[in-house]
Structure 1
Amino acid sequence: MSNQAVNGLDNRPVANRTGKVKGSSNVSISKYVSYAFLLILCVIWIIPVIFGISTSFRSQTEVVSSGFRLFPETWVFENYVTILNNTSTAPILRWLGNSLFIATTHTILVVIVISITGFGYTRINFKGRDTLFFTLLGISFFPGVVNLIPSYKIIDSLGWVNTSWAMIIPGLAGMGNIFLVRQFMNGIPKELDESAKVDGASDFRIFAQIILPLVKPILIVCGLFSFTGSWNDFLWPVIVYTDVDKMPVTAGLLLLQDIYGNYRMIGQLMGSAILAIVPTLLLFIFAQKYFVQSINLNSGIKG
């Protein structure tokens, strides 16, 4: 046996009498510690959610008289009946429909805009392309609250106050989404474009038939983020909406604090909040695999 083989044997982990390799216990301990830490975070996060859901099923008497109790003594549905029957001062179903229309339309337009923009920044050469991209990326780091007044002036001048366009159009070309799409497209070999051009394909055909199918995972992720961001947006809809019937659900929840905000109507307020989070919760449950794919920006490229 050669010296290299002997040295290789000497460098192997030494197994104990039980057959376990030394050092594996340290790995197991770190794994259990990680699981314990994640379990603690999960419990900290889920207890308030469970308490909020259970509060929406408490009677008014129990909300006022009882202290902290994770589950109600008696499960009642009168809070949700009151919420759904109120179609004048707090039309929760209309608000949910408004939010669904706004978020869906906004998401579709976002996917179209960022896919075309990402293609331009990666596949079309023009003077100052990278300078323009990084300048806009740097400007995007400024907090959005800085642009609230100018944005409202623009929306007001266009006549979009109290309309869905006030929520749909702003933010379509978010630089965060464009950055992700651009990075993803940079991982696609440009030899594919060159081969298509040799066959006479135009830029639009290359984009539609080659690039677009490959960037589908990141577009789905950006669409999910855009949907949840539009659905959960609170400050902007509160500013641009005053018509109760046209409000999205987040602006409506602020109005509900005046209607259900007294201590005797906490159940209705919590029930309204629970109804507002159900669509995004279902979206995350059924689309969680796409968030895992987004961790690797080149996950759509097959080697």
Structure 2
Amino acid sequence: MRRREFLAGGTALLALPLAGCAHPPVVLDMEKATPDRIADERSLAPDPGSEEYEVVAAAAEAGENESVTRSHRNDLFYDTDTVRVNNTVYEVSETPIETTEVTEYELHIDFNPDDATATRGEIAYTDLPQADKELLDIVVTDESKRTVDGVDITVNYGTAAEAGDSVFVPDPQYDILVYNGDRYRVTVTSQQSTRTTYRYDVTTVADSVGAFVDRIREQYRFTLSGLSAAERDVVDDAIEGGYFEESEAFQSVAERFRAYDALSRSDSYGTWLVRYESTEYLAYIEW
């Protein structure tokens, strides 16, 4: 986690009782700006294999003549429409085109049931189809020591189509799962849910991350110069590990930043791309 990202968490992260530490009233944090870090401020780089990655890659391959669609409870790109895939930067259009009612299923596991006698049947974990293992691997291996009264873990299986060849959804074939000799009770419930079908189209913004970053620099980067000694001390501290003191020098530096367009900004914080003494920085400020 980068220092700036931690600080940006504000109260939510720093509300923990960390030896009496409190969130500082102001923050200036400056870290050297690599091309990837600059691109991260204005775009999303999803991991290969993630849903975001696969959707954009498919839309890019489909081109203008075909549509890529996805059905889900929620939109996928809710906080950005600029995405980097295979070193190409795309603007993504996510358009809702249809809403339908579907049945979704949840699987509930009791790791210490009062009665572990099977009524439908029992199945060893090693005999589960891959569809079930993909959903249960982490739950069973990491959470099976959790032993509260009743249901210990609930796993969302989605729709019957999404569950694939599951032996539990939509029609449970077993109600006891055996793992390393332990017997877990399994139950399945269903509920109605709304699903929206989204259409995805992409437009190329830049043919490379480097070209994308050059455009960001041209639009947002400015040079920080002509500082007083007190202002220079604030900036130097921000580079070394962060500046956190309310002072006239801090407010003066903050005003200098606020005079320029930010990569991102709210009423009380923002991130800027700045050049200072021949080095490029990403500067995060809270005021």
Q: TM-score, normalised by structure 1?
A: 0.20
Larger Rg: 1
Q: Which has the higher strand share?
A: 2
**Structure with greater helix percent:** 1
